[in-house]
Chain A
Amino acid sequence: QVQLVQSGAEVKKPGASVKVSCKASGYTFTSYGISWVRQAPGQGLEWMGWISAYNGNTNYAQKLQGRVTMTTDTSTSTAYMELRSLRSDDTAVYYCARVGVSGYDFDYWGQGTLVTVSS
């Protein structure tokens, strides 16, 4: 069965960086893209970007350009999302999700990783 297992919760200070991992299993990793979606406490979902696990091509949300980097390691079927220059409003649960058949839907999700930014 398809599974996406994310790394554990993080606490960071403003200005620091965080790198969240997402290990995939149950399917051919390079056949699907991975998107990252975040959710601030009590708020809605926000799409952060997408990476092709086939060739590493990326597309990032405009508001995060320059602060976010998404990568993959095909040898371990793991996707990574790094966010730099953290601010308090980056406090959120970060989800990885497999990109589905349409290319713009997300058919399997990780369990989420809480990133708290606090001084």
Chain B
Amino acid sequence: DQQVKQNSPSLSVQEGRISILNCDYTNSMFDYFLWYKKYPAEGPTFLISISSIKDKNEDGRFTVFLNKSAKHLSLHIVPSQPGDSAVYFCAASKTGTASKLTFGTGTRLQVML
């Protein structure tokens, strides 16, 4: 049972344009959401997070939007750069199980020159 879903396995975007990565979740108990980025042969690195009490969190070129009613979040990267090419994982956690993250299957982003 996939509780966190990233339905697009891959995405290609031109350099300088916006990248939008999507994530859906099914468990209404999730109250904290994170995005991780992973380069080949490296471990995932934390990118940005959002609490369920917010609907937007911004950090430089990265913005995460949360729509609780739709159980949907998205990561916007503006402007996209070639170095952003990586696999992006969405993750979620529940109050009381803050030690455990539930990850999506990832979206491979390719930013083209």
Say whether A and B bind each other: no
The interface of chain B, by Cβ under 8 A from chain A, is none
The interface of chain A, by Cβ under 8 A from chain B, is none
